[in-house]
């Protein structure tokens, strides 16, 4: 089945009444989850997974994919209006989105976020539909050295693009890697740092860790403030960006889409990393980098486009190779398996109704979210206007339930609480939690591919420069490491005017 016929077939599946209803429900729930701080798409998908057990596989996956995409759209609302990311992929949007809102441009920020998301999400889907196959063939040629080098490049990017101290970002990423090593060794199955605790045999779960660092820690930080974080009392107007705003944001949307597109495909990339990269690149190429963090529209357009493009393209490795590239897709992988469907190269031929049905429903979901988001923003704003004295305890409750529901385990509540306190301290000590989460998610892949590469090469690091893809990734790493030094030298050698 070619791409066009496949899409037409998929549309016939997605337009079935119950699938349409499930898609709508997924989009609405996802947006609500995205809007509410502390409960991200991972927790939401995990919590709602049991609801889909009675549904046909295609409908179940369509609904869960709708939640994922909805969360990507909804996350920006919270970031822009209360400076708290609704989910991790919207953390970067806080920087300029909130600054725009404080300057009375909340409507424009929300509008450009929605339009950027729609454009990028649609482009990502076109990519998923058209070049998913050829890309998966190329990715199939990746061996451990390539994966190791690409993940190393991801780490280098996150450090290079860190908002604060690069040294602290490196420390966070390394700490994340160490935390990811808790559990059974992936090659020898030996216990590492489990202290005999059965809950640690499978390692720490990323969901309570992320909820703690990004949800609970935010509550702790906000609780101590004498003037708590509030939804800005601004009139949401001018949601349709004007011509000059479009002109300023257009290349940011394009660059964000391209970055998100590729980062979504890479294992360990995904929406969160793509937003950091898109924001960093935008800041670097801007003629006015000093405006970033103070309400630059590009600072909203780029990350919001990137996370939606990445959300779409992250389905490529899952549906063509059977590899979940990020934690949300890992939960979706579980959903596939529960419904008796194995995602991978055979999905397209054995279950075309799922492969094409999900792609078509994501196209439709993008349209639904565009239509829903703009008129419903005032409603989401009302959700956000719940007073702090009610909102924060409710966020804590959602965090508790989100952490608990993943494995129905009180231990995970403890993990969430621990990382809530860690996140609070990181805030006080000027450390960013994002590199830690990245290190945590990429750590196992990083380790396995490094060890496998060394086993393949009999201990020689030359294997990383003998393989062209790995070599290119390493060259990018070296450039990214050298670049700040060159910039620093240029600054110091520049004559004082």
Binding site for another protein (CB under 8 A): 47-48, 50-51, 165, 167-168, 170-171, 174-175, 177-178, 181, 185, 187-188, 190, 192-193, 219-221, 223-226, 388-390, 392-394, 396-397, 400-401, 404-405, 408, 410, 413-414, 417, 420-421, 424, 428-431, 446-447, 450-451, 454-455, 458-460
Contact 267/323 with Cβ under 8 angstroms?
Answer: yes
Closest CA relative to residue 24, chosen from 331, 254, 202, 16: 16
Phi, psi (degrees; rounded to nearest 5) at 134? -55, -40
What is the CA 32 to chain-centroid distance, rounded? Answer: 17
> Which one, 208 or 256, has the nearer CB to another protein?
208
Which two three-digit tokens encode residue 390? Answer: 């009610």
Please, what is the minimum distance in Å from the beta carbon of residue 455 to another protein? 7
> Which one, 455 or 488, has the nearer CB to another protein?
455
Task: Report CA-CA distances (Å) from 206 to 331, 433, 437, 443, 497.
Answer: 11, 13, 8, 12, 51
Please, what is the minimum distance in Å from the beta carbon of residue 385 to another protein? 16
Please, what is the minimum distance in Å from the beta carbon of residue 288 to another protein? 26
Which two three-digit tokens encode residue 256? Answer: 């964000």
Please, what is the minimum distance in Å from the beta carbon of residue 382 to another protein? 18
Which residues neighbour 381 within 8 Å (Cβ) at sequence distance 6 or greater? 77, 81, 231, 236
Location of structure tokens 């998908």: 45
> Which one, 459 or 495, has the nearer CB to another protein?
459
| CB-count burial class (<10 Å; 0-12, 13-18, 19+) for 245 | middle
Where do runs of H (alpha helix) occur along 340-467?
A: 347-350, 352-384, 388-407, 410-428, 434-457, 463-466
Please, what is the minimum distance in Å from the beta carbon of residue 156 to another protein? 14
> Which one, 12 or 165, has the nearer CB to another protein?
165
Which two three-digit tokens encode residue 225? Answer: 């403030």
What is the CA 88 to chain-centroid distance, rounded? Answer: 6
Phi, psi (degrees; rounded to nearest 5) at 184? -85, 140
> Which one, 192 or 235, has the nearer CB to another protein?
192
Phi, psi (degrees; rounded to nearest 5) at 244? -65, -35
Contact 305/117 with Cβ under 8 angstroms?
Answer: yes
> Which one, 217 or 316, has the nearer CB to another protein?
217
Please, what is the minimum distance in Å from the beta carbon of residue 95 to another protein? 20
> Which one, 340 or 459, has the nearer CB to another protein?
459
> Which one, 248 or 407, has the nearer CB to another protein?
407
Contact 151/445 with Cβ under 8 angstroms?
Answer: yes
Please, what is the minimum distance in Å from the beta carbon of residue 318 to another protein? 24
d(CA 297, CA 279): 11
> Which one, 12 or 409, has the nearer CB to another protein?
409
Contact 343/5 with Cβ under 8 angstroms?
Answer: no
d(CA 51, CA 32): 17
Please, what is the minimum distance in Å from the beta carbon of residue 33 to another protein? 13
Please, what is the minimum distance in Å from the beta carbon of residue 152 to another protein? 12
């Amino acid at each position: 089945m070619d791409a066009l016929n496949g899409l037409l077939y998929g549309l016939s599946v997605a337009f079935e009444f119950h699938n349409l209803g499930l898609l709508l429900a997924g989009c609405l729930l996802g947006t609500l989850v995205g809007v509410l701080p502390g409960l991200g798409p991972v927790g939401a998908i995990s919590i709602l997974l049991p609801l889909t057990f009675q549904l046909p596989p295609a409908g179940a996956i369509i609904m869960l994919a709708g939640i994922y995409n909805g969360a990507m759209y909804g996350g920006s609302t919270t970031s822009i209006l209360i400076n708290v990311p609704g989910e991790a992929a919207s953390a970067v949007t806080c920087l300029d989105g909130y600054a725009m809102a404080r300057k009375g441009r909340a409507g424009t920020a929300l509008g450009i976020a929605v339009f950027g998301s729609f454009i990028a999400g649609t482009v990502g889907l076109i990519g998923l539909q058209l070049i998913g196959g050829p890309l998966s063939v190329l990715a199939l040629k990746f061996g451990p050295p390539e994966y190791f080098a690409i993940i190393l490049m991801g780490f280098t990017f996150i450090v290079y693009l860190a908002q604060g101290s690069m040294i602290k970002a490196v420390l966070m990423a390394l700490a994340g890697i160490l935390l990811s090593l808790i559990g059974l060794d992936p090659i020898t199955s030996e216990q590492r740092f489990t202290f005999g605790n059965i809950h640690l045999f499978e390692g720490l779960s990323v969901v309570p860790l992320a909820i703690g660092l990004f949800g609970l820690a935010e509550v702790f930080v906000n609780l101590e403030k004498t003037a708590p974080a509030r939804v800005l009392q601004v009139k949401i107007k001018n949601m349709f960006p004007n011509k000059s705003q479009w002109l300023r944001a257009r290349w940011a949307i394009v660059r964000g889409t391209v970055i998100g597109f590729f980062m979504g495909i890479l294992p360990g990339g995904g929406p969160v990393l793509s937003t950091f990269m898109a924001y960093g690149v935008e800041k670097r190429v801007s003629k006015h980098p000093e405006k970033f963090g103070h309400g630059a529209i590009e600072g909203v357009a780029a990350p919001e486009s990137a996370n939606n493009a990445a959300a779409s393209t992250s389905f490529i490795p899952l549906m063509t190779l059977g590899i979940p590239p990020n934690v949300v897709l890992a939960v979706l992988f579980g959903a596939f398996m529960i419904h008796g469907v194995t995602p991978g190269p055979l999905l397209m031929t054995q279950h075309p109704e799922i492969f094409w049905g999900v792609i078509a429903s994501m196209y439709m979901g993008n349209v639904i979210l565009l239509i829903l988001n703009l008129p419903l923003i005032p409603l989401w704003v009302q959700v956000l206007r719940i007073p702090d004295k009610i909102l924060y305890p409710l966020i804590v409750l959602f965090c508790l339930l989100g952490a608990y529901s993943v494995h129905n385990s009180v231990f995970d509540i403890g993990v969430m609480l621990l990382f809530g306190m860690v996140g609070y301290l990181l805030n006080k000590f000027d450390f960013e939690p994002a590199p830690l989460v990245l290190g945590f998610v990429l750590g196992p892949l990083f380790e396995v591919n490094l060890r496998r590469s060394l086993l393949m090469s009999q201990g020689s690091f030359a294997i990383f420069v003998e393989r062209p893809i790995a070599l290119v990734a390493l060259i990018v790493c070296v450039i990214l490491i050298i670049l700040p030094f060159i910039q620093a030298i240029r600054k110091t050698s520049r004559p004082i005017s």
